[in-house]
Amino acid sequence: QKEVEQDPGPLSVPEGAIVSLNCTYSNSAFQYFMWYRQYSRKGPELLMYTYSSGNKEDGRFTAQVDKSSKYISLFIRDSQPSDSATYLCAMKYSGAGSYQLTFGKGTKLSVIP
């Protein structure tokens, strides 16, 4: 079993839809959780990061962490064509000196006008 599982999609939704992107993980030592957005031929861009279980909201984006289920989600409200990209979840162990991020494979999202 891979440490981080992410459905690669592709996921296609109409403009204005609510999008739900998810990752599961197997190692309870992961304590920090991030979502990156990667446009075609660009580097990943940090969207959101969370530490504790619960929700964190930033504009149209909501990150949700459920440590008991080892499950994280990213919700996009009122999706726009400009949201079309690959979304990568990433996780990190806690502790000083621990810098390595473990990534999911990414979910390719297309928002159709």
Q: Which spans of this chain sit near another protein (rule: CB under 8 A)?
A: 4, 8, 32, 34, 36, 41-46, 49, 88, 90, 92, 99-106
Residue 56 or 105: the one with the smaller Cβ distance to another protein is 105
Cross-strand partners of 63: 56, 74
Distance CA 82, CA 55 (A): 24
Q: What are 113's two structure tokens?
A: 């006008």
Residue 37 or 83: the one with the smaller Cβ distance to another protein is 37
Task: For the CB of residue 85, give the shortest distance to another protein in the complex, in Å.
Answer: 14
Residue 91 or 111: the one with the smaller Cβ distance to another protein is 91
- Residues near 47 by Cβ (< 8 Å), separated by ≥ 6? 34, 35, 36, 37, 58, 61, 74, 87
Task: For the CB of residue 16, give the shortest distance to another protein in the complex, in Å.
Answer: 29
Task: For the CB of residue 13, give the shortest distance to another protein in the complex, in Å.
Answer: 22
- Tokens 């690669």 -> residue: 8
